[in-house]
Amino acid sequence: MAEQKNAMQKILKGKSFKFGDDISTDLIAPGRYFHLRSNMPELAKHVLEDADMEFAQKVKQGDFIAAGKNFGLGSSREHAPAIIKLAGVGAVLAKSFARIFFRNSINIGLPVLICDTDKIDENDELEIDLGLGLIKNVTKNIELGFKALPDVMIKLLNDGGLVEHITKNKGFNL
């Protein structure tokens, strides 16, 4: 899995893929592919399959997901944000996130941004400055902010995730 060092210092650019409300972990990483959890690249080919059958084929490195409320509800399966990241998604934007999905995303270095995704449509070109807290919808020529993350989470994202943080600091240093 590609690490994102200094995640908050980067500017991300890509296209947005729009999803609705309540995208569950069963839609992101369906139970019938349970046996592929030991083969993440293979599992990633089925990411979000039951929400959008073609997403896994269409998504390119650096693209974004823009969803409604309660993205990632349901299971604690870390495979859900992991295969989203593996599929190339640079950040997930949503009106709100389910707790465990949100936490897992921070832990694996996948930026999760709470913002008004009504202002983003399918295929909009976005530029996201994580350090400044700004999302620029280039297609619509509008700017939106996202809810600031607590320092602890910024630290984890900057380290590339929890494993990287623990390894670097030989324990917690939050």
Binding residues vs another protein (CB under 8 A): 22, 24-27, 30-32, 34-39, 50, 69-70, 73-79, 82, 96, 98-100, 103-104, 107-108, 150, 152, 161-163, 166-167, 171-172, 174
Nearer to another protein, 64 or 101 (CB): 101
Nearer to another protein, 8 or 154 (CB): 154
Nearer to another protein, 75 or 139 (CB): 75
Torsion over CA: 49, 52, 58, 62 (sign): negative
| Least distance to another protein, CB of residue 140, Å | 27
DSSP string, 101-162: HHHHHHHTT--EEE--GGG--TT-EEEEETTTTEEEETTTTEEEE-PPPPHHHHHHHHHTSH
Which helix H or strand E contains 91, and what residues bound it?
Answer: strand 91-94
| Least distance to another protein, CB of residue 163, Å | 5
Torsion over CA: 39, 165, 77, 154 (sign): negative
| Least distance to another protein, CB of residue 157, Å | 13
| Least distance to another protein, CB of residue 60, Å | 25
Nearer to another protein, 15 or 69 (CB): 69
| Least distance to another protein, CB of residue 82, Å | 8
Nearer to another protein, 17 or 97 (CB): 97
Q: How far is CA 63 from CA 38, 74, 99, 168, in A?
A: 25, 24, 23, 29
Coil, strand, or helix at residue 18?
strand
